[in-house]
Amino acid sequence: MDLKQTEYELKDGIALIRLNRPDQLNAFTPVMREELIHLFREADQDDRVRAVVVTGAGRAFCAGADLSGGGSTFDRAQREGREIRLSSHRDGGGQVSLAVFKCRKPVLAAIHGPAVVIGMTMTPP
């Protein structure tokens, strides 16, 4: 996967996942959600990984959801152009939290600066 809003580094058995939108204080987007889910699965399946550390680039861990979309920010069906069954819907933070939960490696969050709303809900339980 070509990473656009996150970074992944493996060194000495530690997988470092970095939210990488420092100019937006790492505000959470659907792209970031997909990348994080992918990276947690990748770390879980890689036998070289002994632990995972999640952090944010710049001066914030995560400022919450990226609200630049205005009124349609939370309208997933409109954004993705399809109908979504509410009974099967889990929000972006919930999807990332589930990926963290399913990861069999220890996950630590190196939180610094703001960690707002989704910035807290996607951290390890």
Query: Is residue 1 included in any domain, yes or no?
Result: no
pTM beyond 0.85: the answer is no
Domain that holds residue 10: 6-121
DSSP state of 70: G
**Over the stretch 71-112, which tens digit does the pLDDT of each residue have?**
555 555 555 555 555 445 567 788 899 999 999 999 999 999
Pairing mode, strands 14-19 and 51-56: parallel
Rg (CA), the chain: 14
Query: Is residue 55 included in any domain, yes or no?
Result: yes
Query: Is residue 42 included in any domain, yes or no?
Result: yes
Domain total in the chain = 1
Query: Is residue 16 included in any domain, yes or no?
Result: yes
**Over the stretch 8-28, which tens digit does the pLDDT of each residue have?**
999 999 999 999 999 999 999
Q: Which two tokens stand for residue 11?
A: 């060194």
Query: Is residue 70 included in any domain, yes or no?
Result: yes
